[in-house]
Amino acid sequence: MEVSAVIGSGIGGLAAALRLKHKGFDVKVFEQSDIPGGKIGEHKNKGYRFDTGPSLFTLPALLFELFELFGKNAADYIEVVDLPVTCNYFFPDGSNLKAWSDHDKFVQEAVNSGVDRQALENYLEKQKFLYNFTSEFFLFNSIHKISTYVGEAGQKSLRALHKLDAFTSMNKRNESVFGKGNLTQLFNRYATYNGSDPYRAPATLNMIAHLEHNTGAYFPKNGMRGIVEALVKLAHEVGVEFHLGEGVKSIQQQIDSSWNVITDKQIYTAGIVVNNTDVTYFYKNILPDAGMHRKLMKRERSSSALIFYWGVNYASELDVHNILFSNNYKAEFEGLFKHKLFANDLTVYIFISKKVVESDAPAGKENWFVMVNAPENVGQNWQQQSEKARQIIVAKINKMLNIDIEKHIESESVMTPVDIESRTTSVNGSLYGHSSNSPMAAFLRHPNFSRKYKNLYFVGGSVHPGGGIPLCLASAKIVGKSLSH
């Protein structure tokens, strides 16, 4: 049985390991941490539990598919609930809008706030059309292979070519539909799902809205970490071999195109290697390639995050996902990508898993994951920047939610871009590798295979098709399609 080595056990690496196992490979997963999961981690502090990474779960069918490969019922491993509200939005003008998962309820809520019904219906229908006709091409196949363009997915996507809006920015398109009002800010927000700037990112990315507003949002009953636990349990059952606390130091290709995989403990031989670390990190540290590394470093990196994990002795009326918007969204993104510093007003995201997972906080209390988008780490004074951001966050929460939040915080932990970089090998703390702030960004992402090195593949948020749980799962699906055994 041919051996395959998976470097990194993030969601993409776990999915790739399972797909390789299904194809008959002897799979070994190497992870530098003592626990699998990559960015999907958890943190416990004084009776509170926090999911530390991704908090949004859409397209659960992509996860369930991995269990179906082995004739398993996903419900035996993970229980997922529908969220009635995908996100609760608070705007600078004092208004509040609940984005209901139910399409009609969301539209009515928006109409009640002054949005034209037909304009919104047409907008959501367009995003649905784009997703239905282009997702197979852009998300579930390699756009770096000619066969994809001449195949069925490529031909189908041609029907949507005239609506892709690749040379119009997200903000420009949204303003043309909704003006400069709240709904433009709401839909502009989806640029941050891959760490980009809606004032420069192509309007093609507006189709991300389809996943929440036309298909809904979900949540595991035992938290986001439950996704990792379910996949690891399945992987153990089917014979995937985990080497935890054993990061890969380097790989070397042999004359027969097999690989030597070198860790601190020993040297392994593998027929193929699948990399799930940040691709820029990979070409600097694991397979040093000065040309590739230089090329990748020239491209603009995505944003990072500053996260406060607050245990609060307070029972709020918030939902699982909540957004408190800034008064100047454009200045926020100029800070992120131009000045590499926090602006003077920030959009605050509050994620409270306690709303679904009762055990995540003591009775009458809540676990607040409080996040702001942050610039990549380029040597800023993060203590100073964190203190500035915290003051802005506290003031915004107090004003918009009419509460003195600091009186209720009884435990606090912080994660900065520096922490993200050191814990996950994400270069400069960028959560999604490179930004999508150009019309051709999708095509410039590193492919899921190497053109230079045989039997080398790539999954995860830093390569095609991008970041976030659904796209990382899609990257593993693409690699699976590329291999036959």
Is the residue at 134 inside a domain?
yes
Is the residue at 333 inside a domain?
yes
Quick: pLDDT tens for 255-271. 999 999 999 999 999 99
Does residue 409 sit in the same domain as residue 437?
no
Is the residue at 360 inside a domain?
yes
Does residue 289 sit in the same domain as residue 312?
no
User: What is the Cα–Cα distance from 383 to 389, expressed in whole angstroms?
Assistant: 10
Question: What are the CA-CA distances from residue 143 to residues 85, 137, 153, 483 (Å)?
Answer: 34, 7, 10, 16
Is the residue at 73 inside a domain?
no
Can you give the residue range of the structural domain that contains 199? 107-216
Q: Is 472 left (phi over 0), alpha (psi -120 to 50) or beta?
A: alpha
Does residue 438 sit in the same domain as residue 344?
no
**Mean pLDDT score across all residues of the chain:** 94
Residue 212's pLDDT is what? 85
Q: CB neighbours (10 Å) of residue 484?
A: 7
> Coil, strand, or helix at residue 73?
coil
Is the residue at 178 inside a domain?
yes
Confidence of residue 158 (pLDDT cuts 50, 70, 90): low
CATH number at residue 439: 3.50.50.60
Does residue 449 sit in the same domain as residue 393?
no
User: What is the Cα–Cα distance from 302 to 152, expressed in whole angstroms?
Assistant: 32
Does residue 274 sit in the same domain as residue 369?
no
Does residue 278 sit in the same domain as residue 312?
no
Quick: pLDDT tens for 20-73. 999 999 999 999 999 999 999 999 999 999 999 999 999 999 999 999 999 999
Helix (H) or strand (E) holding 2: none
Does residue 113 sit in the same domain as residue 182?
yes
Is the residue at 173 inside a domain?
yes
Is the residue at 150 inside a domain?
yes
Does residue 252 sit in the same domain as residue 282?
yes
Does residue 248 sit in the same domain as residue 224?
yes
Is the residue at 75 inside a domain?
no
Per-residue pLDDT at 188 exceeds 80: yes
- Pairing mode, if any, of strands 26-31 and 241-244? parallel
Quick: pLDDT tens for 412-431. 999 999 999 999 989 999 99
* DSSP secondary structure string for all residues of 113-141: TT--HHHHHHHHHHHHHHHHHHHHHHTSS
**Percent of the chain at pLDDT above 90?**
84
- Among 160, 185, 216, residue at a domain's last position: 216
Torsion of the alpha carbons at 324, 329, 332 and 338, rounded to the nearest 10: 160
Confidence of residue 161 (pLDDT cuts 50, 70, 90): low
Structure-block tokens of residue 158: 């041609």
Quick: pLDDT tens for 64-80. 999 999 999 999 999 99
- Among 192, 216, 240, residue at a domain's last position: 216
Please give the tally of structural domains in the chain.
Answer: 3
Residue 485's pLDDT is what? 40
Residue 15's pLDDT is what? 98
Residue 153's pLDDT is what? 64
Residue 148's pLDDT is what? 64
- Among 200, 216, 232, residue at a domain's last position: 216
